[in-house]
Amino acid sequence: MTRGHQERLAPMVRDLMAASGTRFQALDRIAVTVGPGSFTGLRVGLAFGKGLALALGRSCVGVGTLEALAASLAPAGWRAAIIDAGRGRAYLQVFEAAQPVTAPDIIAVETVAARLLEVCGAAAITLVGPGVGALAGLLPRCDAVEMTAPSPLAVAALGARASLVPPRPLYMRAPDARPKTA
């Protein structure tokens, strides 16, 4: 979503809760993704999650977006969660059997294949994230699962295990916005 995050999020959550037949008071804690990702999306999501948690008297915890993408698939084998970071770069994190092998990183798109070969060798790997289909042909024994966002079930499962530390955004690059100069 390029615009309208703040206007659409609360009604979407309200509708989801109504459709599931779940009352907000039934929630144990609120889990939000903390990035990496778009600056606006992270700020809106964190503010909403923290506000909802405060209103409900619950804890709010953070979950890495790349970890949540990888956890959206069955945990077996090698996974690489990838998100376009703009300007020819990608956010990347590699997992084996659901365990992180690398920390979240930001690298040039043209080096993604080399980094994956360096980390995984010739092992079969599944790429997951928005737009990963274009990268699948760069590696042998590679599958791609296009996913615009992590599964809410994966976020909830990771959030249930997360330590009760207030979430903070994971910014891995400088913002595109610049102050106006006189």
pLDDT digits (tens), the chain, 182 positions: 566 777 889 999 999 999 999 999 999 999 999 999 988 889 999 999 999 999 999 999 999 999 999 999 988 899 999 999 988 999 999 999 999 999 999 999 999 999 999 999 989 999 999 989 888 888 888 999 999 999 999 999 999 999 999 999 998 877 766 777 76
Same domain, 43 and 87: no
Q: Is 177 within a domain?
A: no
H or E, element range at 33? strand 29-33
Same domain, 87 and 110: yes
Q: Is 173 within a domain?
A: no
The domain total for the chain is 2
Same domain, 140 and 112: yes
Contact, 30 vs 22, CB < 8 A?
Answer: no
Q: Enter the pTM of the model.
A: 0.91
What residue numbers bound the domain in which 139 lies? 73-146
Cβ-based neighbour number of residue 75 at 10 Å: 12
Same domain, 95 and 30: no
Same domain, 123 and 101: yes
Q: Is 142 within a domain?
A: yes
